[in-house]
Structure 1
Amino acid sequence: MKQLYFALLKHREISIKDLSELLGLNERTLYSRIKELRKYITIVDDKIILGDPLSFAIQLLKQGYSFKDVTKYLDWHDFERFSAEILGAHKYFVKTNFRLTKPVRLEIDVIGVDMGSGRGIFIDCKHWIHGIGRKTLMGIAEKHFERVKKFIKHYSWAKPKWTYFRYLRKIVPLIVTLTTPSIRMYENVLIVSIQELNSTLLDLDMVLDLFGIEPIPVS
């Protein structure tokens, strides 16, 4: 079943014939094995279509499949949604693909806001399967830090764009990578893998203190 699950997650849409050949199963056997997946797939014109890859990936993780094995089949859009799902599970209000077009151009992949503490988590997602070198990651951190500072500078323009921006008091810049990062902090930006995001949020104050990261105040 593992081969079947990962083949569906990888291809998203594949013919019965191609999938049976890929797995070395006859079509009758294949049909019997996909019966339990009706919640996640549809069959149209002899094609199997995985309708919600993210939900399917989360289900595989719940069943105990390797985080590394599952997440490597998620594309950049799934990766952002997965980061947003984790933030939401920690009671943050979440917005994805925030864009500001004036007075400056600005885009942030995922934003989470905790109303109680006023803390905002501003995430830049890097879905690079083969990892990111130290120098490149440092450059990414610098750009993300500047992006957050630009948001704060033009906060009065951004504030009306989303209801929960009004609760912002401080921002934690965060980069989330697919693989384990070569560095954990640079330019006051925290860097974690998607596998570590949940545990990081559970102990965020301790993690920030450990790496000497100061949330940036929003005036």
Structure 2
Amino acid sequence: METATYDPNGLLAGDKTPLQRAITLLSGQDLERGALLGRVSVGAASSAVKAGGNTGGGTLTLDATTPVLAGAKTGIYAVRCILAPGANGGTFEVTDPDGFVIASDLRVGATFANDIKFAIADVGTDFALGDGFDVTVAAADKYVLSLAAATDGSQVPCAVLAIDCDASAGDKSTTAFFSGEFDAAKMTFGTGHTAASAEAAFRKNNVPIAVRTLP
């Protein structure tokens, strides 16, 4: 015999008790029960001169707005000078965290935008062969209101917030539903998502959540 689940706002649309799990809601959000959530799996990016330092005095600057692009992997992207022609130049190769070369013709002064976005500038002493930088994309495991245009993994809906949660002042521990049937009229959808798009995403990714439009 199943035990009835307390349902304060009529969010639940099925008879079975949905599965709940503890999550961390990312700082800066104040969401109500029923918010459609996505998991942030890709965190911030940071850059540093490669181990051992460089001969050249040039810099790598991550894009101020979107340093991490859609499809980015977590781990270290290696950026290395493979051709040093002399004054104010250089050609770089970019290798992703899995060891795949994703660029082999990046010139000093050009903007690179594939998984990560940055530009290399010549400053002072010219680059030498083997000079380079490491760009680290951190892993994350936090949840936000799912927005269709997000690029950090949270664009894919995967859960429904189980209780009101105010994380305005910092990350907050709370709970979310990872299975069950829910009334679309009681849910909050982020920009670009609808009941239909959420339902389609759950089906595509084999998430046992159903979004119902009730009469």
Task: Give the TM-score category using the shorter length.
Answer: under 0.3
TM-score, normalization by structure 1: 0.25
| Larger RCO of the pair (alpha carbons < 8 Å, separation 6+) | 2
Name the structure with the higher helix share: 1
Find the structure with the greater CA-based Rg.
2
TM-score under structure 2 length normalisation: 0.25
